[in-house]
Amino acid sequence: DAGVIQSPRHEVTEMGQEVTLRCKPISGHDYLFWYRQTMMRGLELLIYFNNNVPIDDSGMPEDRFSAKMPNASFSTLKIQPSEPRDSAVYFCASSSQGANEKLFFGSGTQLSVL
C-alpha cells in the first residue's frame, strides 16, 4: 500500500480564495482524521470520520472550514474564504481502529495564504 496520500503538497493562495485539500486514506482503514500543525499551536485535530461519517468536528475553527468524505477512499478539507491565519501544514491520517491504534499520517499539505 502507498500509505496515506495527500494533495497538493504545497498550496499558495491569496486571501479570500477557496482552498481544497485532498486525502486518500489507506485501504481498509475505517477512521480518517484531519489535523493542522503550526509552530504556535502544535498539532490540532480538526475533524474525524468513522465509516465516512463525521464523528467530531469540534476542532474545526469556524464556518469557513468544511470537510467531507463521500466514500471510503477520499476526503476533502475546504477553506472558503481563506485567510492568512490559516497558513499551516494540514495532515490527513487514517487508522483501522480509531485513535487508540496506530495512526498513519500523510506527508501533509503546506498551505500559505498571502
Q: Which residues bind another protein (CB under 8 A)?
A: 4, 31, 33, 42-45, 48, 50, 55-56, 91, 93, 98-100, 102-108
Distance of CA 112 to the CA centre of its chain: 15
Cell of 18: 477557496
C-beta closer to another protein: residue 65 or 91: 91
φ, ψ at 43 (rounded to 5°):
-95, 120
C-beta closer to another protein: residue 10 or 15: 10
Coil, strand, or helix at residue 31?
A: strand
C-beta closer to another protein: residue 15 or 43: 43
Smallest separation, CB 98 to another protein (Å):
4
CA–CA distance, 2 with 107 (Å, rounded to integer)? 12
Smallest separation, CB 60 to another protein (Å):
13
Asked whether 101 and 45 are in contact (CB, 8 A), the reply is no
Smallest separation, CB 61 to another protein (Å):
16
Smallest separation, CB 22 to another protein (Å):
15
Cell of 54: 463525521
